[in-house]
Amino acid sequence: MPPQPSFLPRDPVDFLIVGAGAAGGVMAAELSTAGFSVVVLEQGPHHRPQDFRHDELGVSFHAALTNDTRLRPNTFRKTESGAAVTRRAIEYGCMVGGGSVHFTANYWRFHASDFHERSLYGAVGGSTLADWPIAYDDLEPFYTRAEWDIGVSGLGGSNPFDAPRSRPYPLPPMPVKSSGVLFERGARKLGLHPYPAPVAVLSRNFNGRPACVHCGFCESFGCEVGAKSSSLAALFPRALKTGRCEIRPDSYVRKIQTGPDGRVNGAVYFDKAKREVFQRARNVVVCANGAETPRLLLMSRSAKFPDGLANSSGLVGKNLMFDCGLAARGIFEHPLNDYKSIEATRVLHDFYAADPARGFYGGGGLDARFDWYPLAFAVDGLPSGLPRWGPAFKDALAEYFPRMMTVLAHTTCLPRESNSISLDPNVKDAWGLPALRVTFDYHPDDIKNCWWLLERQKEILDAAGARKVWTDDLSVLGVSRHLMGTCRMGRDPKTSVVDTFHRAHDVPNLYIVDGSSFVTSARQQPTCTIQALAYRAADAIVRAR
Amino acid sequence: MTGDDRALSRRLWLGGLLGAWPAVLAAQHHAHHAASATAPAALAFFDASAAAEVEALASVILPSGATPGAREAGAIYFIDRALLTFDRDKQPLYRDGLAALAKSRLEHFPGSHSFASLDAAQQVALVHAIESTLFFELVRFHTLAGFLADPSYGGNRNLAGWRLLGFDDSFHFEPPFGYYDAQEPNG
């Protein structure tokens, strides 16, 4: 691999990409491969795969791979009239590769219906539910491109609710775990349609990367063998190989600069030593995630854009959508050893579509998964009512850990204009910048949907023969790892922030490519669609050259 | 996976053709066992009497018995080190918590000398009295971490915690993984 180029800040690069995550990796690889010069600014560090450890306390409990809210605090309030308190409210991968490094790796395409739910179900009171300005067919070629470029394992055609696909998955499904077998058994008894989970993990060697060794540490952890198809493992190596892409880790952007012509011309960032650098660029692509992207745009106000960059609609930061869904858990007679291999090997989309007969808007996908590493399990994973210390507690740890599994729901989160990312007027981060303020409350239908699905989850575990079934309560909803909707895509500049190819309506050389473009939440698991959208955005840029 | 794939994967594993990862896994594995075999030299935060009190509390949370408990896992060494490193800010909670425990002990068992010297039934009764305190919640968390966190932190000696849970720290597995997938014809 050639050494990384070292672009001079005063010389404009073709594209300056802010954020090296799921979308930033795609944009960097596609644009540099097409011949453009690219600088990627990433606020987090650049880990080598061999740095990743199976250390639950150090990585998961101490949030080693995610945003450090001691340095960059969040504030949170439920409603616009409430007082915001300082607490962790959002979580994202903070490193080269972003959330694609430490995610579970569920890699679900949207259904065709996801793009026009407003037309299908009508208006929902208290929500800004809208159709996407694009359809599944517009995105299908880029779903396929994503799956074949990064390496996704799955079985095309096995989910009867999926939209048509132009090509099978490049890799066969991962081997089924006991949780998948039991889930399948229970679901089939109920007449449902479980299928092998599509995951961004290699079931076989692929493009010079090794197959998964089933270590079991996907969610919250980085993959030390490079079998998880993160931007770090699958995309940045290709970008760097071009010799036209420079990744600058530990680079924290505070402002995108606008010139007198109304076009952006670069970004000011703090380097590792907290020195300010201004990198010039002909185009800027913001891929900083659905929370940090609107924050950066709001911090980038100027005489030309007094309410924040690309914010003539007033919608930058609005319509924030969160992670949603509850867990049902079951214990079985024999050991599942569900801690081995990837988290989830079976999925079910029978309840994905909304159904007006339920009396609310909403739906969800379910997966059978491992959800508790040993320490988290011991702290919090036993059913309530069991002892929390003493000999019976110790016996329960030994009995439950190898024998339990989780059925997790991934559910709709309705967009609401009152849910937002904004700049906290009081709290500052360690660089003196305004803290990220989250204003968020679930729509009542989101909650009804969670409870309704939780009954379906319990039924599946019962049908699978669980000796005992127990569930989460709502208190688990509160920190979101899926950050969507804050720079909505649309055709009308008055009601959206980016156009159908992710160009800001207000600024011709500014692109916004990440979960912020989402019009609806689909059924969570956004990474696949974030990346497909990024391939599509890059393709449009390259074709327009 | 076909037989050929398996053979290829095995060759890559042995030859390390796809990078350094087998060496990394081996090194991690070695580190676990090295850490778990070596007892930390000494306690650096607690004095002997405070250590005895905390260890006795940890032993009520995860008692010794047919299988090792917090004591055999060396949870006290984990806690001692935690309070001097990543949980330095929790030191006052321990100081105040131990003082409150002593006060509560004297109310329940006048004339007693330490929590550690109470009999088992008395210790359990006293833990019931403090189990809703922040101090107990912290000691419980630290005890569990000293039992189940990576042995390189000083606890989980001889992998006592992971063994109790049936957690195998090989970090590379092949199917079948559990009872039910082993029953599948094409599992």
Domains defined for chain A, CATH in brackets:
1-103+108-133+230-318+421-437+484-545 (3.50.50.60), 152-224+325-411+443-476 (3.30.410)
| Cα–Cα distance list, A322 to A256, A285, A448, A521 (Å) | 26, 23, 16, 8
Can you tell me the distance from the alpha carbon of A142 to that of A30, in angstroms, rounded to the nearest whole number?
A: 12
Nearest one of A375, A366, A379 to A406, comparing CA atoms: A366
Amino acid letter, A514: D
Residue B33 has pLDDT above 90, yes or no: no
Least confident span in A195-204, A446-455, A474-483, B131-140: A474-483
Please check whether residues B9 and B81 belong to one and the same domain: no
Please check whether residues B159 and B119 belong to one and the same domain: yes
Q: What is the CA radius of gyration of chain B?
A: 22
Contact between A57 and B175 using a beta-carbon 8 Å cutoff = no
Contact between A394 and B150 using a beta-carbon 8 Å cutoff = no
- The beta-carbon neighbor of A182 closest among B60, B69, B180 is B180
Q: What is the pLDDT of residue B40?
A: 53
What is the nearest CA distance from A66 to chain B, expressed in angstroms?
17
Mutate to test the interface with B, among A1, A48, A57, A405 (most CBs of B within 10 A): A57
Contact between B148 and A378 using a beta-carbon 8 Å cutoff = yes
Nearest one of A497, A507, A505, A503 to A541, comparing CA atoms: A503
In a domain, B33, yes or no: yes
- The tokens describing A332, both together, are 């079985």
Please check whether residues B146 and B74 belong to one and the same domain: yes
Nearest one of A251, A318, A323 to A288, comparing CA atoms: A251
Q: What is the pLDDT of residue B38?
A: 52
Contact by Cβ (8 Å): B147, B70: yes
Q: What is the pLDDT of residue A472?
A: 84
Helix, strand or coil, per DSSP, at residue A522: strand
List the single residue in A with minimal CA-CA distance to B163: A398
Please check whether residues B18 and B65 belong to one and the same domain: no
Which residue is it, tokens 């090997």?
Answer: A345
In a domain, B106, yes or no: yes
Nearest one of A243, A130, A219, A146 to A520, comparing CA atoms: A130
Q: What is the pLDDT of residue A71?
A: 97
Across the range A142-164, mean pLDDT stands at: 98
**Which tops the pLDDT comparison, B40 or A325?**
A325
Can you tell me the distance from the alpha carbon of A122 to that of A89, in angstroms, rounded to the nearest whole number?
A: 31
Please check whether residues B67 and B116 belong to one and the same domain: yes
In a domain, B142, yes or no: yes
pLDDT grade, residue B7 (50/70/90)? Answer: very low
Residue A267 has pLDDT above 50, yes or no: yes
pLDDT grade, residue A354 (50/70/90)? Answer: very high
Can you tell me the distance from the alpha carbon of A257 to that of A303, in angstroms, rounded to the nearest whole number?
A: 11
| Cα–Cα distance list, A179 to A254, A369, A459 (Å) | 45, 6, 15
What is the nearest CA distance from A459 to chain B, expressed in angstroms?
19
Q: What is the pLDDT of residue B1?
A: 32
CB contacts of B79 in chain A (<8 Å) are none
| B25 backbone φψ class: left, alpha, beta (φ>0; ψ -120 to 50) | alpha
Q: What is the pLDDT of residue B160?
A: 98
A376 in reach of chain B (CB within 8 A) = no
Please check whether residues B105 and B13 belong to one and the same domain: no
What letter would DSSP give residue A111? P
**Residue % of chain A over a pLDDT of 90:** 98
Q: What is the pLDDT of residue B16?
A: 32
pLDDT grade, residue A164 (50/70/90)? Answer: very high
- The beta-carbon neighbor of A335 closest among B5, B63, B178 is B178
Please check whether residues B135 and B156 belong to one and the same domain: yes
CB contacts of B178 in chain A (<8 Å) are 177-178, 334-338, 340, 402
Residue A381 has pLDDT above 80, yes or no: yes
Nearest one of A495, A305, A302, A515 to A421, comparing CA atoms: A515
Nearest one of A154, A56, A171, A47 to A109, comparing CA atoms: A154
Can you tell me the distance from the alpha carbon of A330 to that of A404, in angstroms, rounded to the nearest whole number?
A: 5
A228 in reach of chain B (CB within 8 A) = no
Angle at A388 between CA A384 and CA A389, to 5 degrees: 160
Please check whether residues B124 and B62 belong to one and the same domain: yes
pLDDT grade, residue A478 (50/70/90)? Answer: confident
CB contacts of A334 in chain B (<8 Å) are 178-180
In a domain, B186, yes or no: no
Enclosing domain of residue B8: 3-37
Task: Give the HSE-up count for residue A323: Cα atoms under 13 Å, Cβ half-sphere.
Answer: 19
Nearest one of A211, A486, A459 to A342, comparing CA atoms: A211
In a domain, B187, yes or no: no
Q: What is the pLDDT of residue B39?
A: 55
List the single residue in A with minimal CA-CA distance to B160: A398
pLDDT grade, residue B186 (50/70/90)? Answer: low
Please check whether residues B18 and B61 belong to one and the same domain: no
Contact by Cβ (8 Å): B74, B40: yes
Can you tell me the distance from the alpha carbon of A472 to that of A494, in angstroms, rounded to the nearest whole number?
A: 41
Burial of residue A527 (number of CB atoms within 10 Å: 0-12, 13-18, 19+): buried
List the single residue in A with minimal CA-CA distance to B20: A50
Please check whether residues B53 and B32 belong to one and the same domain: no
In a domain, B25, yes or no: yes
Q: What is the pLDDT of residue B17?
A: 32
Please check whether residues B66 and B90 belong to one and the same domain: yes
Q: What is the pLDDT of residue B176?
A: 97
Task: Give the HSE-up count for residue A253: Cα atoms under 13 Å, Cβ half-sphere.
Answer: 31
Question: Can you state the angle between helices A178-189 and A444-463, rounded to 10 degrees?
Answer: 100
Q: What is the pLDDT of residue B10?
A: 32
Nearest one of A340, A178, A159, A211 to B187, comparing CA atoms: A178
Domain total in chain B: 2
Nearest one of A184, A219, A281 to A56, comparing CA atoms: A219
Across the range A51-70, mean pLDDT stands at: 96
Please check whether residues B31 and B71 belong to one and the same domain: no
Query: What average pLDDT does chain A have?
Result: 97
In a domain, B183, yes or no: no
Can you tell me the distance from the alpha carbon of A484 to that of A90, in angstroms, rounded to the nearest whole number?
A: 11
Q: What is the pLDDT of residue B23?
A: 43
Helix, strand or coil, per DSSP, at residue A88: coil
Write down how long chain B is.
187
Across the range B75-80, mean pLDDT stands at: 98
Helix, strand or coil, per DSSP, at residue A474: helix
Q: What is the pLDDT of residue B24?
A: 41
Contact between B162 and A374 using a beta-carbon 8 Å cutoff = yes
A451 in reach of chain B (CB within 8 A) = no
Residue A108 has pLDDT above 70, yes or no: yes
Residue B18 has pLDDT above 80, yes or no: no
Beta-strand relationship, A276-286 and A13-18: parallel
pLDDT grade, residue B4 (50/70/90)? Answer: very low
A398 in reach of chain B (CB within 8 A) = yes
pLDDT grade, residue B42 (50/70/90)? Answer: confident
pLDDT by residue (tens digit) across A272-311? 999 999 999 999 999 999 999 999 999 999 999 999 999 9
Can you tell me the distance from the alpha carbon of A130 to that of A134, in angstroms, rounded to the nearest whole number?
A: 12
In a domain, B11, yes or no: yes
Q: Which helix (H) or strand (E) holds A463?
A: helix A444-463
Beta-strand relationship, A13-18 and A38-41: parallel
Residue A337 has pLDDT above 80, yes or no: yes
Q: What is the pLDDT of residue A2?
A: 67
Task: Give the HSE-up count for residue A351: Cα atoms under 13 Å, Cβ half-sphere.
Answer: 28
Q: Please give, one letter per residue, the 3-state secondary structure of chain B.
A: CCHHHHHHHHHHHHHCCCCCHHHHHHHHHHHHHHHHHCCCCCCCCCCHHHHHHHHHHHHHHCCCCCCCCHHHHCHHHHHHHHCCCCCHHHHHHHHHHHHHHHHHHHHHCCCCCCCCCCCHHHHHHHHHHHCCCHHHHHHHHHHHHHHHCCHHHCCCHHHHHHHHHCCCCCCCCCCCCCHHHHCCCCC
**C-alpha torsion angle, residues B19, B22, B25, B27 (rounded to 10):** -90
Nearest one of A407, A406, A411, A408 to A449, comparing CA atoms: A411
**Which tops the pLDDT comparison, A55 or A474?**
A55
